Amino acid sequence: MFYYIALLFQLLPSTRLHTLIILFDNTTTIDGILADIVDSFNSYGKHTQIEGRPNNSNYLAILSYYNSV
């Protein structure tokens, strides 16, 4: 089981949107991992949104969140 995580930081100073892109292989069970990530972000007062789609044998999940402060 392996996965790649890339964190894209905000490009503009006024932008509070961050995007976490997670690429899993086809043997990874992602539901629990993503749920843990969402719980972690939400526990710090972040608004979290997940988009996911199958991509051949990989699953690409895009998690975006906004700073609450």
What is the per-residue pLDDT across 7-47, written as a single tens digit (0 to 9) for each? Answer: 444 444 444 555 555 555 555 555 666 666 666 655 555 55
User: How much is the pTM?
Assistant: 0.29
Instruction: Evaluate whether 63 touches 49 at the Cβ level (below 8 Å).
Output: yes
pLDDT score recorded for residue 40:
62
Among left, alpha and beta (phi > 0; psi -120 to 50; other), residue 30 is: alpha
pLDDT score recorded for residue 59:
42
What is the per-residue pLDDT across 42-62, written as a single tens digit (0 to 9) for each? Answer: 555 555 454 544 444 344 444
Instruction: Evaluate whether 65 touches 47 at the Cβ level (below 8 Å).
Output: yes
For domain 3-66, is the CATH number 3.30.70? yes
